[in-house]
Amino acid sequence: MTSPPPSLSATSESPVCHRVLVGITGASGAIYGQAVLEILADLQSVETHLVITAAGRRTIAHELDMPLRRLETLADAVHDVRDIGAPPASGSFPLHGMIVAPCSVHTLAAIACCQADNLLLRAADVCLKERRPLVLMLRETPLHLGHIRAMAAVTEMGGIVFPPVPAFYDRPRTLADIVRASALRALRLLGLTDVAAGIRPWCGRP
Ligand SMILES: Cc1cc2nc3c(=O)[nH]c(=O)nc-3n(C[C@H](O)[C@H](O)[C@H](O)COP(=O)(O)O)c2cc1C
């Protein structure tokens, strides 16, 4: 782990008011995790923590132009997914919320079963028990009933399942536009007001 501050270090130069945990799993779509980290890195008010599963490391290497080391520098602190004693494993650690981008079916199902045998899963379980926002950018299609039941279970527990589905009325021109729009909308669900300001609302007919 890269030295996470124990408490929010708000100063006049750095008015940190939210601490957010970003999880990256082995679903396709590591680029969503990259977009989320890039958006949060631009927000002075957010302190970003990052945890990546073993499968997530593999998809990052396969899908991103950015090497893992560079991706990790977008976060303020990086935690080893095997470190189930890291700060986000405890409800006493003041975390605003957590986003998993992208979220695999494996991780969704584990959260639905309250399975918490790695740091990402434990932190997600903690978010739910502490009634903190948990947003899962689930990437899988088509869906069988087991997937849908797992989504229902997590939703009943208070989590938000957010499959990154593009909004074409925004007239996205590039892949980056599509990914960023989904990342912004998912982050807005965490209740980060600075993020909401970056979303262009639909104003009726074009
Ligand atoms: C290239 C690649 C793409 C994958 N895409 C998906 C996917 O889109 N959705 C998914 O649920 N799993 C996908 N998987 C499978 C997961 O990586 C696998 O289930 C893994 O165990 C997930 O572990 P994690 O949840 O701990 O990251 C993919 C695997 C690879 C190698």
Q: Is 182 in the pocket of ligand 1 (CB under 6 A)?
A: no
Q: Is 48 in the pocket of ligand 1 (CB under 6 A)?
A: no
Q: Which atom of ligand 1 sits closest to the CA of residue 104? A: 11
- Domain topology for 18-197: Rossmann fold (3.40.50)
C-alpha angle with apex 181: 141 to 195, nearest 5 degrees? 125
Task: Give the start-to-end residue ranges of the domains of the chain.
Answer: 18-197
Ligand 1 center from residue 175 Cα (angstroms): 21
Q: Is 16 in the pocket of ligand 1 (CB under 6 A)?
A: no
Ligand 1 center from residue 8 Cα (angstroms): 33
Q: Is 110 in the pocket of ligand 1 (CB under 6 A)?
A: no
Q: Is 82 in the pocket of ligand 1 (CB under 6 A)?
A: no
Q: Is 27 in the pocket of ligand 1 (CB under 6 A)?
A: yes
Residue 142: cis peptide before it, omega within 30 degrees of 0: yes
Atom 31 (ligand 1) nearest CA: 59
Atom 28 (ligand 1) nearest CA: 27
Q: Is 62 in the pocket of ligand 1 (CB under 6 A)?
A: yes
pLDDT along the chain (206 residues), means of 10: 48 69 98 97 93 98 97 98 97 97 98 98 98 98 98 98 94 96 95 70 65
